[in-house]
Amino acid sequence: MEFSYLQPGRPAIFKDKFVTKVNECLASYTDGARGEVGLIGLPFSKTSISMSQASDAPKYIRACLSTFSTFSGERDKDYKNFKVLDFGDVQVHPTDMEESIERLRISVGEMLAKKASDRYILLGGDHGVSYPSIRAFGEHYGEIGVIQWDAHHDVRNLEDGGRTNGTPFRSLIEGGHLKGENLVQIGIRDYANAKVYHDYTKEKGITVFTMDDVENTGIVPIIKKELDRLSKSVDFIYLSVDMDVVDQAFAPGCPAIGPGGITSRELLTGISAAASHPKVKAMDIVEIDPSKDFRDITSRLAAAAMLRFMFNH
C-alpha cells in the first residue's frame, strides 16, 4: 500500500522534529491537573465605548503562540516541558451585560479555586473584563496591587454609560475592591484623557507615570521601583495590559490606537521585569480587535507578552 499524504482532521503543516512551538505547551484543564500557568479567555467586548470585536482576541492570541518556539537562546533554556493549563473561554450572555460581567467574575474565581497553578494569564476582551477579574483575584488572595499599562486612566464616570471599558478602575476603587494607592498606571498618553479624570487619580492616590515619565526615566526602573513599593503593602500583584499603551505603529489592532505610545520592545522588557517578582501572580491582556489588525501584528505582540510572563526564570 502506498503512503497516504491525506491527514483527515489534522492541519497540513510542516513539522521540524527538533522544534517545539509554544502552542504545544497548552493542555485543556482536567480535574486534578497541575501546571505552571493557568490560562482563561474572557471574550467580552460589548461594554466597549467604541466599535470593537475584541471578544475574538483570545482565539487569535492562542493561535499566534504557534509562531514562537519554546527555546530561549538568550537564556540557553528550552521550555518545551512547560505546562499551560487552558480553562477555555467563558460563555457570556448574548444580551445582558451585567450578567456577563458576573459570569466572568464567577469563572475566574472557579479557575482560582482549582488551585491548579500559581500564576495566571487572562485574555480579553475589552478592558471592562478587568473589573470582574481583579475582583475575583481579590476575593481569593486578599489585598491586591495592580500595575496597569494604558494610554488612558479608565476611571470614567458611571452615569454616562454604565460600566464600560473606560470604567474598570473606578468601579474597583469605588466598590472597595482596590485601594487607589495600590494602583500604578504606566504609559498614560497626553491629550488622551479629561482633566476631571486626571484630578480623580490624584484624589484617590493613584500613582501615574505618563509617557514623558517613561521617556525620561525608563520603563524598567519605574516598574522595579513600584514593585518594591507595592510588595510591602499587598498580598499579590496583578498586571493589566491594555495594548493601546503601545504606539499604533506596533499595535495597529487596538480600537483606540494613537501615536506616542511605548514600543513593542519596551512592553516586553517591562513585562519581563514585572513577571520576575515573586508577588506578581497574574496578567490580563486586553483591547485587541483582530478585525482591525494587520497580519496579526497586535495579537503576535500579545503572544510574545505571554512568553515574557510565563518564561521568566
250 — pLDDT class (breaks 50, 70, 90)? very high
- The separation between the first and the last C-alpha atoms of the chain, rounded to the nearest angstrom, is 49
Question: Which residues are 242's β-sheet partners?
Answer: 286
Sign of the CA dihedral 187, 189, 192, 198? Answer: positive
Residue 246 is given by DSSP the state B
Percent of the chain having pLDDT more than 70?
100
Amino acid at 231: S
pLDDT at 186 over 80: yes
Query: What whole-number distance in Å separates Cα of residue 226 and Cα of residue 224?
Result: 6
CB 76 within 8 A of CB 311: no
Which three cell numbers mark 74? 538568550
Which three cell numbers mark 141? 488572595
- Residue range 254-279: mean pLDDT, rounded: 97
Strand duo 71-72 + 77-78: pairing: antiparallel
Percent of the chain having pLDDT more than 90?
89
CA dihedral 235, 141, 146, 65 (to 10 degrees): 120
- Residue 6 is predicted with a pLDDT of 84
Sign of the CA dihedral 27, 32, 284, 70? Answer: negative
pLDDT at 3 over 80: no
Contacts of 299 (CB under 8 A, 6+ apart): 57, 60, 61, 63, 64, 253, 288, 290, 293
pLDDT digits (tens, 9 = 90+) for 195-244: 999 999 999 999 999 999 999 999 999 999 999 999 999 999 999 999 99
CB 115 within 8 A of CB 87: no
10 — pLDDT class (breaks 50, 70, 90)? confident
Per DSSP (E only), the strands in the chain are 26-28, 37-42, 71-72, 77-78, 84-89, 119-124, 144-149, 183-188, 207-210, 236-242, 280-286
- Residue 11 is predicted with a pLDDT of 82
- Residue 1 is predicted with a pLDDT of 60
164 — pLDDT class (breaks 50, 70, 90)? confident
- Could you tell me the domains of the chain? 22-310 (3.40.800.10)
pLDDT at 313 over 80: no
> At how many degrees (to 10) do helices 97-113 and 130-141 cross?
40
pLDDT at 191 over 90: yes
Number of H helices, E strands in the chain: 9, 11
Q: Does the predicted model carry a pTM greater than 0.85?
A: yes
Query: What whole-number distance in Å separates Cα of residue 81 and Cα of residue 64?
Result: 19
3-state secondary structure of 272: helix
pLDDT at 167 over 90: no
Residue 123 sits at φ, ψ, to 5 deg, of: -110, 115
CA dihedral 167, 134, 208, 298 (to 10 degrees): -80
pLDDT digits (tens, 9 = 90+) for 24-80: 999 999 999 999 999 999 999 988 988 889 999 999 999 999 999 999 999 999 999
Query: What whole-number distance in Å separates Cα of residue 262 and Cα of residue 215?
Result: 9
- Residue range 289-300: mean pLDDT, rounded: 97
Sign of the CA dihedral 279, 281, 287, 291? Answer: positive
pLDDT at 182 over 90: yes
When the pLDDT of each residue in the chain is averaged and rounded to a whole number, the result is 95
Query: What whole-number distance in Å separates Cα of residue 141 and Cα of residue 172?
Result: 15
